[in-house]
Amino acid sequence: MADSTVSSTTSASKGIMGLGKGNSTQLNDELISKLKAADESAQINPITKNIDKNKERQEDLKALKTLANNVQSAFSALDNETLYVKRKVNSTGTSASVSAVSGVSLQDLDLDVKQLAQRDSYQSAKFKDQLGIIGVDNSGSFKINIRGVSYQIDVNQSSSLQDIADQINERASGDLQARIVNVGGNNPYQMIIQSKNTGKEQQITFSDDTSGVLKKLGLDSDPIAVLDDKGQPVYNDDGTAKTTSNFEKNRITQAQDAEFTYNGLSVTRSSNTIEDLRSGVTINLKETGKSSFQIVQDTEDIVKAVEDMVQQYNTLVKNLNISTSYDDKTKQSGNFQGVSEITALRSNLNRIFTQQNEKGLSLSDFGLSFSESGELEFSWVDTSTNLTKKDNAKFLSKLANDPDGLKAFFMGTTDIKSASYYAPSSVKSGALKLEAGDLTINGISIKLDETQSTNSAKDNALALANAINNAGIAGIYASLNNDQTGIILKSLDDTDIEIKAKDNATNNFGLSTSTTNSVTTRTSGLFTQLNTTLKAITQDKTGILDVYGTKLSDEQKALDTEKEKIQKSLDTKYSTMRERFVLYSQQITELENQFASLKSMIDFELNGNK
């Protein structure tokens, strides 16, 4: 009986201890962390994954916009008229060089240079020292004459070679140049005097020397007998002794004009640089002889611009292919797979690239085509083999044979129908005049002094036309109709014609108040459209890329807010749980202490009954 009691008591004691420290040790931070981690995995991690995906898309979108901007810049270059008006000059021969500004008409030039334009130039006698006194007997002056102008140079007994040169440069710098040159030897210093410009009119003479300095300089005109190699006098055909002078002996070059033929036409100019033969064309004569030139379109930059466009566009397409792809085998997709805003970018470009213009021309007519992957390439089809060959020869041929057609296709055309005004009635005969304000054309008042009473209608019409043309109305000129009695006004460009005529002008000169506008018709070329479309897509805040970027940004903010909200909720939940666990632990510890006291009492009773 006693054994049975002990066994039962011991079993009850173990059951009570089962609520003690053995279980309380499980209510700790490790358990709470595991529970919280499980909740975060289920609730937070999916949101974090979406945030990471969103950030990847935003980064990829930035890269895509950069590529699209590069393509837009390439389109813009091909939509720029300056690209198509550049010129280069092909040449044969070395007697001259030719340069041409952009837009100048294409043309051929044949030049035959007979002689170059030259300055008049002289060298002085040689001196030991450039700063030493020349040594004239008397103070005085001399004159240097050029182009009918005389410059007085003062000389005194202390003047040096440098003093003379300085005075020439100071007083005649617009026409003359003087400099001291060290030529070596015992007397190394010489003064060189030359005309500043070239041309026959630049001849230099010296006169009115009252100091004797010209003889010292070797520039005097005193006659000197001409001697042959043996020192014997040389005679003229008439038997008189041939003479020269120091002035002539010390001439280095003689002033002369340039003489040449231009496409067979004889031309004379005072300079070797000619800019007034053809507008926008500069000719530089270099030596005598023949040269030929062809001013042609500079196609190098156009080809480079197209090649750059192809490269930039293909880089964009490759990135679009990757970012919008889906692999059935790996089940992997690009960041923009299924994103309509991105697929629309390619669709818009392809639609414009593959269209025909009003003449039925497409990109393939200029040697550009699409590969199976959607990339652009220079290509043409060999009809003998029906194979596509990569080559820009077709493009170059089109550019060489029809540059205007290529320009029209690439960037469109601008046609201007100039304004024209035909007076509704004829000018009257007799004495007529226009006072200030009677007639204004484009804001400029036309004044006509009273004509002769004997003037015919033709005389008065011609007088009015001259008055209009002499008034200086920009872009407007006047002429006469077929019977020479009526006024016609025409604009030279896109200038409008606005006429304000009072009664005097209306009654006597057949004019009326009116406004005639010029008409400008523009057609867009391929790259004009592509440039406009892509610019709207990439740079306009309402463009599809910016709209999609805003969408991603809003999505990120929403995901961040949701994540923060859930995280805060979990933090609160498990903070409360931790506080409760602490309280439970305290309660269990108290129970354990109570059980420990009870156990001691039971153990005492049990031990006492033995």
Model confidence pLDDT, tens digit, residues 562-609: 999 999 998 888 888 888 877 777 777 777 787 887 778 777 777 766
pLDDT at residue 352, rounded to an integer:
87
Q: What are phi and psi of 597, to 5 degrees?
A: -65, -45
Instruction: Show which of 507, 522, 537 is a domain's final residue.
Output: 522
Residues 104 and 148 in one domain: no
Residues 424 and 461 in one domain: yes
- Does residue 373 belong to any structural domain of this protein? no
- Does residue 26 belong to any structural domain of this protein? yes
Residues 429 and 503 in one domain: yes
Residues 510 and 449 in one domain: yes
- Does residue 347 belong to any structural domain of this protein? no
Domain count, the chain: 4
pTM, full prediction: 0.65
Residues 139 and 198 in one domain: yes
Integer distance in angstroms from the first to the last C-alpha of the chain? Answer: 13
CATH number at residue 480: 3.30.70.2120
- Does residue 159 belong to any structural domain of this protein? yes
Question: Range of 269's domain?
Answer: 87-116+257-297
pLDDT at residue 386, rounded to an integer:
58
Residues 479 and 597 in one domain: no
CA distance 589 to 602: 20
- Does residue 395 belong to any structural domain of this protein? no
- Does residue 20 belong to any structural domain of this protein? yes
Closest listed residue to residue 337, CA positions, set 53, 36, 598: 53
Burial 412-422 (b: 16+ CB within 10 A, else e): beeeeebbebe
Residues 474 and 563 in one domain: no
CA distance 401 to 395: 10
Handedness of CA 31, 32, 33, 37 (dihedral sign): positive
- Does residue 387 belong to any structural domain of this protein? no
What parts of the chain have a pLDDT lower than 70?
Answer: 1-28, 379-391, 540, 608-610
pLDDT at residue 444, rounded to an integer:
95
- Does residue 292 belong to any structural domain of this protein? yes
Residues 566 and 518 in one domain: no
Determine the residue type at 344: A
Residues 249 and 261 in one domain: no
Residues 580 and 495 in one domain: no
- Cβ-contact 207, 138 below 8 angstroms: no
What one-character DSSP code corresponds to residue 480?
E
Q: What are phi and psi of 220, to 5 degrees?
A: -85, 160
CA distance 343 to 416: 39
- Of all helices (H) and strands (E), which one includes residue 408? helix 403-411
Q: What is the pLDDT of residues 196-231, one digit of tens each?
A: 999 999 999 999 999 999 999 999 999 988 888 888
- Cβ-contact 345, 352 below 8 angstroms: no
- Cβ-contact 306, 78 below 8 angstroms: yes
pLDDT at residue 578, rounded to an integer:
80
Residues 576 and 492 in one domain: no
CA distance 509 to 362: 54
What one-character DSSP code corresponds to residue 340?
H
Residues 269 and 239 in one domain: no
- Please, which residues bridge with residue 112 across strands? 261, 290
pLDDT at residue 434, rounded to an integer:
94
Residue corresponding to tokens 């192809």: 310
